[in-house]
Amino acid sequence: MKIFLKALGCRLNEAELQTCANELQSYGYEIVNSLQEAGIVVFNSCAVTQEAERKSRRAIRKYYRDNPGIKLVVTGCYATLSPEDVANKLGVDLVIDNTQKDNLAKIVKEKFEIPTSSVHAAEANESVLFARGKDRAFVKIQDGCRNSCAYCIVTVARGEERSRTPEKIIAEINSLHTQEINEIVLTGVHVGGYGSDNDSSLAKLIEVILNETDIPRIRISSLEPWDLNEEIIAKFKDKRLMPHLHLPLQSGSDGVLMRMGRKCDRDSYRRIVQSARDAIPNLVVTTDIIVGFPGETDEDWEHSKEFIQEMGFSHIHIFSFSSREGTPAAKMDNKIEPDVIKQRCKELEHINENMREQLMRANQGLVFNVLFESYSIELYSHEKRFFGYTDNYIRVAVDVPDGLEELAGQIHRVKLDCVDESGEFMIGRTMQHE
């Protein structure tokens, strides 16, 4: 039986389906990248915003409408928060909430009682890289969150913090490395909360990974700023830990941060970022910002823009505030008008573009290790353009004459020559072409 897997939303959703793919293959199922070939679809849904929930519904309806007779399995945050809607209104055969997700492969096998074939059974330590090129993989290290941010529905959908054992994490990383994966991204709902339930910590886990794997590149997906301690910063002395930190700020206004229930203000965030930059060479910091949180005044917004520019982020993930039923923010007064939110998002996107270009120009002429993606494009000049990321997460393109060199999935030393005219990435050249 052939199964098509699809994740919507965060990197954690993709990491979970990666693990699920391995388990399904161990039962004898074949993972396919074409929906038309599949007899079963497993969809890992998202509900972080109202728009994400709408996208989840649209995707489910499309699978049902366009693929009559296919078995449709839905899991993830939307399925957890609205199981009856998913089961009764959208033609879904099986709903699996987040508390059952670790047993998803077993539940699918038992529910449908579909005979499997040993032809497609995975070899020991083999990983299935579903719908991805062989360059990087996301590895789930924990689930759930103990923080209580006023806007967040994910804590409701994901529940209490639960850490995977180091043994399972190490086994997965080593398995991925044997499949020519050169970079893994440690991901979870609250990555910095790793070990809260098993007397461990993120720093201890990183140490184990550094000692017990040979994977060349390790990234941390997203880390709450208050979780970035000296122990974690010290691990960046090992060059296998990439000098990039995603530290969600959410707002640059102390008043808004307080209403959000965030655990740091501007001053503490500034100190945390400065400590990391002082200790980690070439560190790049990215962040999340929520625009239009209830009660965000014009003065709050001006303070926020000022602080964001002071921090000099290389990239901002911009989110319009989305009121989620069941969160404290949904009950707050002084909601911001959609037109105001839209205008503020435009202003922030302009700041985002300027900061990204400033960072790239600051790195012009420097040499970095770049992991190239499987994705490439053909150029009119009989060259092939490969894309990749530097250690510190700057996107780079390198043009190579057809037939001369295949860069996909490889790590090369690259000199960053200039910023592309689009402003989205840099143009570089591998050092062997000097």
Q: What is the predicted pLDDT for the residue at 404? A: 58
Average pLDDT over residues 394-401: 91
In the chain, the percentage of residues whose pLDDT exceeds 90 is 66
| Higher per-residue confidence, 154 vs 205 | 205
Out of 89-103, 313-327, 367-381, give the one with best mean pLDDT: 313-327
User: For the segment 216-253, what is each residue's pLDDT rounded down to a tens digit?
Assistant: 999 999 999 999 999 999 999 999 999 999 999 999 99
Gap between the terminal Cα atoms of the chain: 51
Residue 408 CA to residue 372 CA, distance in Å, equals 5
Angle value at C-alpha 433, between 430 and 434, nearest 5 degrees: 100
Q: Are strands 315-320 and 284-291 parallel, antiparallel or unpaired?
A: parallel
DSSP 205-257: HHHHHHHH---SEEEE----GGG--HHHHHHTTSTTB-SEEE---B-S-HHHH
Q: Going from the N-terminus, what domains does the chain have, and what CATH number goes with each? A: 2-120 (3.40.50.12160), 133-242 (3.30.750.210), 245-362 (3.30.750.200), 367-433 (2.40.50)
The DSSP result for 323-340, as a single string, is: --TTSGGGG-S-PPPHHH
Between 302 and 11, whose confidence is greater? 302
pLDDT exceeds cutoff 50 at 168: yes
pLDDT band at residue 83 using 50, 70 and 90 as cut-offs: confident
Q: 169 pLDDT exceeds 90?
A: yes
Cβ(263)–Cβ(147) below 8 Å:
yes
**What single-letter amino acid sits at 28?**
G
Model confidence at 27, pLDDT cuts 50, 70, 90, reads: confident
50/306 Cα distance (integer angstroms)? 29
Quote the DSSP letter at residue 35.
G
The pLDDT score that the predictor gives to residue 133 is: 54
Torsion of CA 406, 408, 411, 417, to 10 degrees: 80
| Helical ranges in 27-142 per DSSP H | 50-66, 77-81, 83-89, 104-112
pLDDT digits over 178-213, tens only?
Answer: 988 999 999 999 999 999 998 899 999 999 999 999
> Which residues is 45 bridged to in the sheet?
76
Which pLDDT does position 111 carry in this prediction? 87
